[in-house]
Amino acid sequence: MIKRPRRLRKNQQIRDLVHEVSIDKSDLVYPMFIIDGETEDIASMPEIKRYSLNDLPKALSEVTAAGIKAVLYFGIPKHKDETGSEAYNYNGIVQRGIRLTKELYPELIVIADICLCEYTSHGHCGIVENNCVINDKTLPLLVKASVSCAEAGADIVAPSDMMDGRIAAIRTALDENTFENVLIMSYSVKYSSAFYGPFRDAADSAPAFGSRKSYQMDFRNKKEAVMETRLDIDEGADIIMVKPALPYLDVVKTVSENFSAPLAAYHVSGEYSMIKAAAQNGWIDEKAAVMESLTAMKRAGAKILITYYAVKAAKWLGEM
Ligand code: PBG
């Protein structure tokens, strides 16, 4: 009888010696909501908040103390309009949040999510005409939002809108505006997913009519993920992404095997809320479930893990 695999698992020291994949604090990205108003809880995402500018410094001190090296910012403006103009306002909420963060923590990597849905009155990710999102009229606005976040000090812009051609448009404009060193993390593979539900509460961005199916990907498709990623890399994406994460580990694996750009997996709001709800009911071991989920993403080929559990995970890693 062959016993070797059993011997390799015989005690914790040996298991640690031979283990293949582990999470590092530097892999983690913490998504944060910054609101133009008072700090608020998010009903469907317990323990996650929408931070006011006043409360942001205190939140960041906890985030950085835990050892988190990168944050991903979403802005929630006071006023929304048809063209999402607060997304590219010099004094917009996310721009002010970025400036404040860079003053306090110049080393912290600030990633600015670029999309219009948190800023438009109709909740869609682009310009709407006759109930349709118009791709090419949206591009210049995404470009303006990217340049204004770079100007505020973002290290990375992360377009999450899924319009075609946005990476090339944004790259060109960043370069023309002296932001050659600002990276683009593209939401290259973003499925139209039910798991974004809690985020839409958090960002107050549920579409007022229709769905995002005309621009986000159909979850029945995988070859399309390869095509979308190739286009984004050709257009200038520095970092690529698959989103959501756990239900799409096959896609993470395929994309990681086909491309050598650093790959991020986004453990989205619904994935967070499922674990959190079960944990709050005493139905699941929260720490174990989170660490297993994040490790699975790395095992599938992701390098960067974007998760609302980032701060907790960093603390847990510190205890291990
Ligand atoms: C904006 C955006 C969304 C998410 C990230 N950026 C929502 C959406 O596309 O509806 C989802 C993140 C999450 O669920 O955690 N377009």
Tens-digit pLDDT profile for residues 237-287: 999 999 999 999 999 999 999 999 999 999 999 999 999 999 999 999 999
What mean pLDDT do residues 11-21 have?
94
Tell me if residue 190 is catalytic: yes
Predicted pLDDT at 202? 87
What mean pLDDT do residues 86-92 have?
96
- Beta carbons of 167 and 184 less than 8 angstroms apart: yes
Mutate to test the pocket of ligand 1, among 120, 199, 268, 269 (most ligand atoms within 8 A of CB): 199
Burial class (CB in 10 A: 0-12, 13-18, 19+), 224: middle
5 cis-preceded (ω within 30 degrees of 0): no
pLDDT digit string, tens, across residues 46-88: 999 999 999 999 999 999 999 999 999 999 999 999 999 999 9
Catalytic residue among 80, 144, 243, 298: 243
- Residue of the CA atom closest to atom 2 of ligand 1: 160
Tell me if residue 69 is catalytic: no
Predicted pLDDT at 112? 98
* Atom of ligand 1 minimally distant from the CA of 125: 16
Pocket of ligand 1 (CB under 6 A): 113, 115, 117, 125, 160-161, 196, 199-200, 212, 268-269
Confidence band for 7, pLDDT divided at 50, 70 and 90: confident
Ligand 1 center to 75 CA (angstroms): 12
Burial class (CB in 10 A: 0-12, 13-18, 19+), 210: middle
Handedness of CA 149, 155, 158, 164 (dihedral sign): positive
* Atom of ligand 1 minimally distant from the CA of 267: 15
Taking all residues of the chain, what is their mean pLDDT, rounded to a whole number? 96
Position 3 pLDDT exceeds 80: no
Ligand 1 center to 211 CA (angstroms): 13
Position 203 pLDDT exceeds 90: no
pTM of the predicted structure, to 2 decimals: 0.96
Predicted pLDDT at 8? 86
